A and B are shown apart, each in its own frame.
Chain A
Amino acid sequence: MAEKAGQVTTGMKIAIAVISLILATGYFTFLDWGGGAMKIQGLDYFYLFRK
């Protein structure tokens, strides 16, 4: 098993890391804005951009 795990190439690892970063970005954006956290607080997330 351990050997199998070790077979992932560096390129593959970078690709997985990048995908993970994108996934995490999506998740935290969801938390920040789309997930309701902001809506519950009545927060205008785009305040600065509109200003």
Chain B
Amino acid sequence: MATITKQARKKIWAFLALGTFVGLLLLPLFLSLPAGAGDTPAPAASTDAKPVEKSRDVWYKTEGPVIGAPAPKTTDSAKDYPRYNFESRVILWVALQQHLYYGSFVLAVPIFCMIVEYLGVITKDKALSRKYDQLAYDFVKISLTAYSITALLGGIVIFTFLTLYPTFFGYLSSIFRPVMATYALLFIAESGTLYIYYYAWERMREGFLKWIHVAMSVILNVIGTVLMMLANSWIAFMQSPAGVDADGRYLGNVWHVIHTTLWNPINVHRLLGNMAFGGGVVAAYAAYRFLTAKSDEERAHYDWMGYVAMFIGICFLIPLPFAGYWLMREVYAYRQQMGITLMGGLLAWLFIIQAVMIGALFLTANYYLWQGMDRMPGAERFQKYIKYMVFVLIMCFIVWLTPHTMVMTPAELKAMGGQQHPVLGNYGVMSAKNGAINTIITTTVLSFIMYQRANKIPTVKWAPYGNAFLFGLFTMAYVNIIWLAIYGYYIPANVRVGLSVPQVASTLSCLFIGVILNSIMLKGAKDVGPIVWGKISVRGQYALIMLATSFTWMMGLMGYIRSSVRLFWHVNEIMRDNSPWAFTHTIGFGANMISFNVLFFWLTILFVFWLGALGVRKAPATAPVGQKVPAPAGSR
């Protein structure tokens, strides 16, 4: 009886704790409601008999009462832009970028943690369940130190804004006051939830309490995602303002200010990007621990951890370009000139660099999978195909990074006979590039299917039919992608643009149909031998570090592109940047700054990794060499 009472008491406490978290989650939203989410805000209109001045929203075109002051017209003076013998923009750039790196990391890792902890709870095999649980714990442990650094960097960002761009920051915070208050409260809720989630891990390890613990991770991630979306609303407002009139006066509708035209595309793109980046960083952490491991058991564990993190990262990398397409489409729809500046003008060369990075990412992911086949007996059967895949990938990579036009001297231009090379110029067009990138992704899917099969022989009766179907699917997908790429050369641009849809659909068909069919075929397959975790070349681990570095570099690059497309505006077409640093930097300077930020981040995150390693007294939930350990998507 006493036990039942104790259990019941535990349950009541657990429910109370969960209720408190939900309350904390809803509190900021509740508090922000009177701030004027509706169309009839209270403040300005009430006391005075003076008629309320009304004005028109620059984006929504609705009328609203003028509440805020006009956007300040700044001058190049110490009042608006204090000087500290250094380019203020560069200081802010570093502070913001570091905050963003750490912020992305601490938002992504709890999502992994939630997925892995949930897998642990639903897995019936107790040993596997413990391994998943330990992995989730490892994830959150890394993010905890990073979380403190994120908060610290957030403080530095605000301090930097206030000291270097006081007028602009004053204007932005006057518009986003309720949002910033909500943000601060949510941040407190996030911190509290994260710390309780981490420190209650041991106490809530079993039974019903474990489910409450998993529920807490869901709440943690909801808060984290809302935080990210609120922060996104500030940058989206700067790029495509809404909720203000042409003079920048706030019209009282906070939802309009948040929900600008680019807000949701940025939200989706950032969420996916954060996940891919988080996967990369955790994989790099695992690689670091693998390379410094003293025993086979440790190596086996961190090899597995690196694989899982890489797998999750790649899963989010694949839809990322489509979210990017959506964002660019909305940019073009908002201001065509902005789109042209990005992709066809001033910043176009940065997209070439991005292409190189994306190509490198896919090449590295393939390389890691091939290296990973070392751990699987029976994988030798597939070795002979790798050279052909390398050939296809390299050829496509070369096409993918061929620029449309080159920056040249008049003499070079004359020698070449125009801006485009007579032969290579043919590969610098969108038709060729769409074909190339879709072929790269399809080949990556093929690599993954090969990896899934490496130590398995399908035994289902319909295996020959399944194999034939896979053969037909991939062959015709390649034919279709290449045929559409060639066809694109013969039709006008407005017709050609539509070809990307069936090309992408072909790639996605291979991804979904191919991987699902292959996984079904491998149910109950004959094992050639177990995966020997830890038996992978160190090159494979360096590939993980390379993946993570590429993610980091690309994130810095794309952030720079998105931000610098505003050109000389603080808030596009509303508040002009009159500081001496309102010019666009050269590509070389931009690239150096990005590299500096990447280096700085990796040096500091190494410190975080080192701290994480200090806390480990023994190898966690180790998998003896040769023992089966769980891996996603039928890779066992």
The stretch among B23-31, B284-292, B495-503 that forms the contact with chain A is B495-503
With A43-B499, A47-B491, A48-B487 already in contact, the answer to whether A37 and B468 are too (CB < 8 A) is no
A32 near B477: Cβ-Cβ < 8 Å: no
Is B332 at the interface (CB under 8 A from chain A)?
Answer: no
How far is the CB of A16 from the nearest CB of chain B, in Å? Answer: 4
Q: Considering only CB atoms, which chain B residue lies closest to A21 in the complex?
A: B472
19 A–B contacts, CB within 8 A, in A order? A2-B459, A5-B460, A16-B468, A20-B469, A20-B471, A20-B472, A23-B469, A27-B473, A28-B502, A28-B509, A31-B480, A31-B509, A32-B484, A32-B502, A38-B498, A41-B498, A43-B495, A47-B491, A48-B487
Is B457 at the interface (CB under 8 A from chain A)?
Answer: yes
Is B199 at the interface (CB under 8 A from chain A)?
Answer: no
With A4-B461, A20-B468 already in contact, the answer to whether A31 and B490 are too (CB < 8 A) is no
Question: Of residues 34 to 49 in A, which have CB atoms within 8 Å of B's CB atoms?
Answer: 35, 37-38, 40-44, 47-48
With A28-B477, A32-B480 already in contact, the answer to whether A2 and B498 are too (CB < 8 A) is no
A1 near B501: Cβ-Cβ < 8 Å: no
Question: Of residues 67 to 116 in B, which have CB atoms within 8 Å of A's CB atoms?
Answer: none
Instruction: List, in ascending order, chain B residues with CB within 8 A of A41's CB.
Output: 497-498, 501
Is B463 at the interface (CB under 8 A from chain A)?
Answer: yes
Q: A43 is contacted by which of B475, B490, B498 (Cβ under 8 Å)?
A: B498
B502 near A19: Cβ-Cβ < 8 Å: no
A28 near B468: Cβ-Cβ < 8 Å: no
Q: A4-B461, A20-B471 are in contact. List 12 more A-B contacts (CB 8 A).
A: A16-B464, A16-B465, A17-B471, A20-B472, A22-B472, A23-B472, A24-B469, A24-B473, A24-B475, A27-B476, A32-B502, A37-B502
Total inter-chain residue pairs, C-beta < 8 Å? 86
B460, B472, B473, B479 — most chain A CB neighbours (10 Å):
B472
Instruction: List, in ascending order, chain B residues with CB within 8 A of A19's CB.
Output: 468, 472
Instruction: List, in ascending order, chain B residues with CB within 8 A of A47's CB.
Output: 491-492, 495
Is B152 at the interface (CB under 8 A from chain A)?
Answer: no
Interface of A is mostly: helix
**Nearest 6 Cβ contacts at the A-B interface:** A20-B472, A41-B498, A43-B498, A24-B476, A16-B468, A24-B472
With A23-B469, A27-B509, A40-B501 already in contact, the answer to whether A8 and B464 are too (CB < 8 A) is yes
B490 near A48: Cβ-Cβ < 8 Å: yes
Instruction: List, in ascending order, chain B residues with CB within 8 A of A20's CB.
Output: 468-469, 471-473
How far is the CB of B508 from the nearest CB of chain A, in Å? Answer: 10
Q: Considering only CB atoms, which chain A residue lies closest to B473 in the complex?
A: A24
How far is the CB of B612 from the nearest CB of chain A, in Å? Answer: 45
Question: Of residues 445 to 485 in B, which have CB atoms within 8 Å of A's CB atoms?
Answer: 457-461, 463-465, 468-469, 471-473, 475-477, 479-480, 484
Instruction: List, in ascending order, chain A residues with CB within 8 A of B501's CB.
Output: 37-38, 40-41
Is B506 at the interface (CB under 8 A from chain A)?
Answer: yes
CA distance A43 to B503 in the complex (A): 14
Instruction: List, in ascending order, chain A residues with CB within 8 A of B476's CB.
Output: 21, 24-25, 27-28
Instruction: List, in ascending order, chain B residues with CB within 8 A of A24's CB.
Output: 469, 472-473, 475-477
Instruction: List, in ascending order, chain B residues with CB within 8 A of A4's CB.
Output: 461
Is B628 at the interface (CB under 8 A from chain A)?
Answer: no
The total of chain A residues at the interface (CB under 8 A) is 30
How far is the CB of B483 from the nearest CB of chain A, in Å? Answer: 9
CA distance A20 to B502 in the complex (A): 20
Contact residues of B with A, CB < 8 Å? 457-461, 463-465, 468-469, 471-473, 475-477, 479-480, 484, 487, 490-492, 495, 497-499, 501-502, 505-506, 509, 526
B468 near A13: Cβ-Cβ < 8 Å: yes
CA distance A38 to B471 in the complex (A): 26
A5 near B468: Cβ-Cβ < 8 Å: no
CA distance A21 to B499 in the complex (A): 22
B457, B479, B498, B526 — most chain A CB neighbours (10 Å):
B498
Instruction: List, in ascending order, chain B residues with CB within 8 A of A42's CB.
Output: 498
CA distance A20 to B472 in the complex (A): 5
Q: Considering only CB atoms, which chain B residue lies closest to A8 in the complex?
A: B464
A16, A22, A28, A47 — most chain B CB neighbours (10 Å):
A28
Q: A31 is contacted by which of B458, B472, B475, B505 (Cβ under 8 Å)?
A: B505
Instruction: List, in ascending order, chain A residues with CB within 8 A of B479's CB.
Output: 28
A4, A16, A38 — most chain B CB neighbours (10 Å):
A16
Q: Considering only CB atoms, which chain B residue lies closest to A43 in the complex?
A: B498
B457 near A2: Cβ-Cβ < 8 Å: yes
Q: Considering only CB atoms, which chain B residue lies closest to A7 in the complex?
A: B464
CA distance A19 to B473 in the complex (A): 11
Instruction: List, in ascending order, chain B residues with CB within 8 A of A16's CB.
Output: 464-465, 468
How far is the CB of A32 from the nearest CB of chain B, in Å? Answer: 5
CA distance A25 to B479 in the complex (A): 9
Instruction: List, in ascending order, chain A residues with CB within 8 A of B475's CB.
Output: 21, 24
How far is the CB of B521 from the nearest CB of chain A, in Å? Answer: 11
Instruction: List, in ascending order, chain A residues with CB within 8 A of B509's CB.
Output: 27-28, 31
Instruction: List, in ascending order, chain B residues with CB within 8 A of A48's CB.
Output: 487, 490-491
How far is the CB of A21 from the nearest CB of chain B, in Å? Answer: 5
A31 near B506: Cβ-Cβ < 8 Å: yes
Instruction: List, in ascending order, chain A residues with CB within 8 A of B460's CB.
Output: 1, 5
A13 near B464: Cβ-Cβ < 8 Å: yes
Q: Considering only CB atoms, which chain B residue lies closest to A3 in the complex?
A: B459
Instruction: List, in ascending order, chain A residues with CB within 8 A of B459's CB.
Output: 1-2, 5
How far is the CB of B189 from the nearest CB of chain A, in Å? Answer: 42
B457, B476, B506 — most chain A CB neighbours (10 Å):
B476
CA distance A17 to B461 in the complex (A): 16
Instruction: List, in ascending order, chain B residues with CB within 8 A of A21's CB.
Output: 471-472, 475-476
CA distance A31 to B461 in the complex (A): 30
CA distance A30 to B583 in the complex (A): 49
Q: Considering only CB atoms, which chain B residue lies closest to A1 in the complex?
A: B459
A5 near B458: Cβ-Cβ < 8 Å: yes
Instruction: List, in ascending order, chain A residues with CB within 8 A of B464's CB.
Output: 5, 8, 12-13, 16
Q: Considering only CB atoms, which chain B residue lies closest to A28 in the complex?
A: B480
Instruction: List, in ascending order, chain A residues with CB within 8 A of B461's CB.
Output: 1, 4-5
How far is the CB of A33 from the nearest CB of chain B, in Å? Answer: 8
Instruction: List, in ascending order, chain B residues with CB within 8 A of A35's CB.
Output: 502, 505
CA distance A35 to B506 in the complex (A): 12
CA distance A19 to B555 in the complex (A): 45
How far is the CB of B520 from the nearest CB of chain A, in Å? Answer: 15
